[in-house]
Amino acid sequence: MHEAMVPTRDPGWILSHEGYSVLSESAVESRFALGNGFLGARGARSISRGPTWVSWLGYIKWASWPRCYVAGVFDVPNTEPPVPALVPVADWSRVRIELNDEPQLLRDGELIEGLRTLDMRRGMLLGDLTYRTKAGITISGSELRLVSLADRAIALQLLRFSLDRDGIDVMLEASFGMAGLGMEPMRLEQDLGAWRTEGSNKGVALAGSTALRAGDKELVPERPFSLRWVWRWRSVAGQVIELDRIVAAARAEPQAGDPAPAAAAALTRSRALGWRAVLGAHETAWRERWEASDVVIEGDDEAQRALRFAVYHLTSAANPEDERVSVGARGLTGDAYFGHVFWDTEIYLLPFYTAVWPEAARAMLMYRYHTLPAARAKAAHEGCKGALYAWESADTGEETTPERVVGPDGAMIDILTGKMELHISADIAYAVWQYWRVTGDDDFFVQAGAEILLETARFWASRAAAEKDGRRHIRHVIGPDEYHEDVDDNAFTNMMARWNLARGLEAIDTLRTSWPEQAAALTEKLALGDDELADWRDAAERIVTGLDAAAGIYEQFEGFHQLESLDLSQYADRKVPIDVVIGRERTQRSQVVKQADVVALLALLPEEFPGPMAETNFRHYEPRTAHGSSLSAGMHAMVAARLGEADMALRFLHKAAAADLEFDPNSAGGIRIAGLGGVWQAAVLGFAGLDLHADGIGLAPRLPPEWRRMSFAVRWRGRSVQVRIADGMVRVAVSDGEPVSIRVAGTPHSVQGGATLDVRCETRATVQR
């Protein structure tokens, strides 16, 4: 067991935290969270912490916020307004120790050493603890925790410790803390518990198997209650005590019956393997994922750490085996945003999954297909045709954004995003199209993707109203810049709507050409006729864009340039968002942008910014952006990198990563998974200039001077492609298969399967500021 607890030697794979502070603990627990897309567990200390239960806190603060989750388990708690939330399940890692009948709590004694290490390469949390009790007894131990990437139903905990005294009466309890909180019990057995949520009727089952050894002797536990093991013995100084615990979980939909048999079966197969085999399979699964997704940077240790951290959490968040869930704004790492899914998933996460893990991307897009009925219902509720996806979505796809909330002063605040932030439908269509073009997954396109494209296009045609000026307008919206609400003709929304309409028309033409029977069936199902398609063409041509052709600048929304100009450099030292500094009303009256808006268009639709327009728009909006969202810095980094602004891009990349790598109190609610997706995009789509499309792969490297070498892997239409950029040379290696078209720095090449291409070209950024 000791060997399993030795972390990877290369420090580039390790994040460590020493000691304890109430100010940073919850953020550390988010940063060191474990996940596999089905199970999630925050990196809270498991040994000798006090209980955690819900109460009014006032001016005090929880010393720790342990949480475990099963993806897709939502219910509506007793909140006002009532909003579906991800339900935490039993804390399966809790261990409690008594010495001579005295409970041992870390807060009561002296913490000599308390080191937690996230081993990103192996996908596990390691801990080393040396603690002196009030009675002067020293406990020294190590711990390993993981949720299996090889078998997503399984989690594993290993614990190894010793005391420095003989003759101490020791009691160790391993339990499932807060089991069934907020849920009704279905069955409670010695090694298994099953519960059902009160409102949504979702079932959850947890099973456990635990063993404890003192030296070579296995101790027999007392079993006073379900999922609780208690051992008692007298200590021998220096004797090593080893505990291993295997945990299994299962989820059941309301119509699926009892989840307990699935959890019991998972536990049985893992117990038959033993913890060593469970550990080995997990390490193998992580090794395979890193081979497919690692980004290696030589010359910049900080950037390397940021990218490894990003890829670790992106890998931990996804489950290609489950089409009924997606990745929420904080993944399975915390309670913030209640586990809800936003546009973040399609715009900030799907580019990573499409490029390196298309099976995971497909599952997330199928979640959107399964929630298409709810999107149709929302569009109908708004008086429109087609599909309008929920701004915040849980398991059903229904809109979960609260309409009003209580502000700090007790006044009610209207929340308009659920009604007005419409661009999410085009964002989802964008991800569908990109996935299909990159993967060539025709089965997905025919069975699901085309329907999403058509129904979202139909929504935009019905929402874009023709007016007396001969144009079609999309009024009363919120763009990505959420500082400005209820605006007209937001450039991002309108341009994405036009794009969505054009792709919808292209999708139906493609279906009719390549799959005429399926096209006929789908058009009949949707009652989609030629007159309606003609209206789509009209809308795509006449929707207002906001482009000032003379200046070459898209106005962010109608009237934006008439707002007060504000020099954000005067507020560069602020510690809180700009709307807190200058007030909400002045923010709304000013040319202050919360996050990438027109700049996001630069990233998604670069073809709409020919010639110098890309740089012109970036230089116009970058100084006006306050980065009031963790989404903003990564998008700016990617665009700046593509423009050759290496210094600025690198600053933005580090800013995006710092949101979770540094001690930000807002990280207590979970890691900002979309911001980490932005870190990957900045490096791979930005600095490497990767462009995956239907015809092949493009590379236009613009590395910063600090980066001596960069290498990464992607998948294109089922083939693995390895890329290495260094010293004026781009090397591309293609796995076996048909030739792949590779365009490097604008020059096309054809690379045979199994061959390697070397191209000499400029690999450094040309603009330094």
Catalytic residues: 482
594: Cβ contacts below 8 Å, ≥ 6 apart: 480, 481, 482, 483, 579, 625, 626, 627, 628, 629, 632
Encoded amino acid at 490, one letter: N
CA-closest candidate to residue 164, choices 130, 139, 141, 143:
139
Distance CA 202, CA 479 (A): 35
Q: At what angle do helices 450-463 and 372-381 cross, to 10 degrees?
A: 10
DSSP 661-689: HS--GGGGG---HHHHHHHHHIIIIIIS-
Burial class of residue 407 in the structure, from the number of CB atoms within 10 Å of its CB (0-12 exposed, 13-18 middle, 19+ buried)? exposed
Encoded amino acid at 394, one letter: A
Distance CA 445, CA 522 (A): 12
Q: How many other β-carbons are positioned within 10 Å of the β-carbon of residue 736?
A: 10
Burial class of residue 731 in the structure, from the number of CB atoms within 10 Å of its CB (0-12 exposed, 13-18 middle, 19+ buried)? middle
Distance CA 445, CA 604 (A): 21
Q: Provide the phi-psi class of 511: left if phi over 0, else alpha when psi is between -120 and 50, else beta.
A: alpha
Distance CA 149, CA 324 (A): 18
**Strand pairing report for 709-716 and 696-699:** unpaired
Distance CA 744, CA 689 (A): 9
**Strand pairing report for 696-699 and 740-744:** parallel
